[in-house]
Structure 1
Amino acid sequence: MVDVIVVDAEGRVRDADVPLLFADDLAALRGDGVFETILIRDRSSRLVDEHLSRLHDGARALDLPAPDTDGLRRAITVAEREWASPDDACLRILYSRGRESGGPPTCYLTVTPVPERSATARRDGVRVTLLPRGVEPSTEQPWELAGAKALSYARNMAALRHAQRYGFDDAIYVSADGLILESPRASVVAVVDGSLTTPPRDEGILPGTTQKALYRVAATAGVSIREARMTPSDLLSADGVWLLSSLTLAARVTSVDCTPLPAPSAAAPDVPNLVSRAISERMM
């Protein structure tokens, strides 16, 4: 099995050892584009509708042409077929403005093994630190790309490196007025007053595909769900806090800035099980 599978937007498998991007592609020069990360489990891509919808929304936010979702579905099918392993895989869709010298947008898919850190976080949980975000994007500031999964991801990775430098596994952003926002690469969900609670989308956070799927399944299971503002004290008193993402799925937050969080009580919703159901019930 190869370590990287590359499929172009026309569904052709490309040699991963042969260069694909031009040197002046704006994905590389400026991070001018959007991307999606999709879990392949049992050789089937999960939550494809949600990811393609978010890709479309992100492209619109960046004034990119609408991606060819039908073509991407065909390319995803090819990528699934090329992934010969029963192990989980990470499928990424990259969609950039294309070459600085002109031409159509660039679009391709890659498939790689899921990083070991995802399985570790899922199994052991994560220790997080709270970081001020500084700039507060909102829907009233479209140039800040609130809610778009943009390729310009250096800031997110710098936040994670900072957290890891001080002995944490991950971070949670806090707004200037002390509100919980999101992780650099995950949604935050906590059990507050018996309800699954996530920050409102109008706070300038990325709409989480896994969080959305969790809420859909939780609602059908009779679990109380809501979007509501949360503070750090809400996390410390919550009956369980989770970081949700496409690859890790559900990682329990075990401590916040060195303050241990107790394990969820028997009365708390079983978030990992609900997430597992959510990614199984909706496939392409």
Structure 2
Amino acid sequence: MTASSFRVDEAVWRGLLALRRGETPQRDHGQDPAWTLYEPIARRDGRSFVVAQVGQSLDGRVATVDGDAIPISGADGFAHLHRLRALADAVIVGAGCVVADDPRLTVREVEGPSPVRVVIDPSGRVPPGAKCLSGEGGAILVRAEGGTPVDEPTSLCLPRDGDGRLCPRALLAALARRSLRTILVEGGAATIRHFLQAGLVDRLHVTVAPIVIGSGAPGLLLDPISRLSEALRPQCRVMPLGSDTLFDCAFDRVSTDPPARLAIGSVPDAGGIW
């Protein structure tokens, strides 16, 4: 497979959207690369499934030192992000991401429904006119217990964890009670870090664009470690999307109290593209 040959066949995408709706696809797409990539996200099996997505430069940056972030991902990386949104029940972002970029978080580049937008805003930083708070799919504003409640959009109050942050495990449980179980964690870096370090991520998708920024905001920023034995080591395959390169990383998500580090997961074979 060459860097320009990855494509999502229309029949494959229709099958994935059917799977997202809980229906049986009309045909078996077997080892089609697009099917093996998106099928775990489209499938509904009654439990929460979390995929985190980062679009970054070759040197791991998502913005310049002045916050310029558009465009880093190429057209194919951008389309991939919109496919993830279309397959998710809800997309989660932090307040900092909304304040900095004012994203819509809707599906526009591909066919499919827009997810519910879930904005983690414990301190009330997000302005009422933020684009993601209106439009197709609806929005949920997540605040900390004891703070000032809000009525519009739908609000959700959660406890803070031992570090003073909103508990990501409690958030997933609250979303599941609303039948929102397939979750895309889109940003920013701090929000993705909290879900990763809590052991709650099934898949991490990192799309890398052929651009070198040299300095600026990192795409992934985890707590420091002393030894490489403590590093996250997911099983990973590499897929050329065209304009960007995708690293599809799988973890065995922890279902009980989170450990210090995540366990290694597995990725189904997709024709040897690893």
TM-score (normalised: structure 1) = 0.28
- Larger fraction in helix: 1
TM-score (normalised: structure 2) = 0.29
Higher relative contact order (CA 8 A, sep 6+): 2
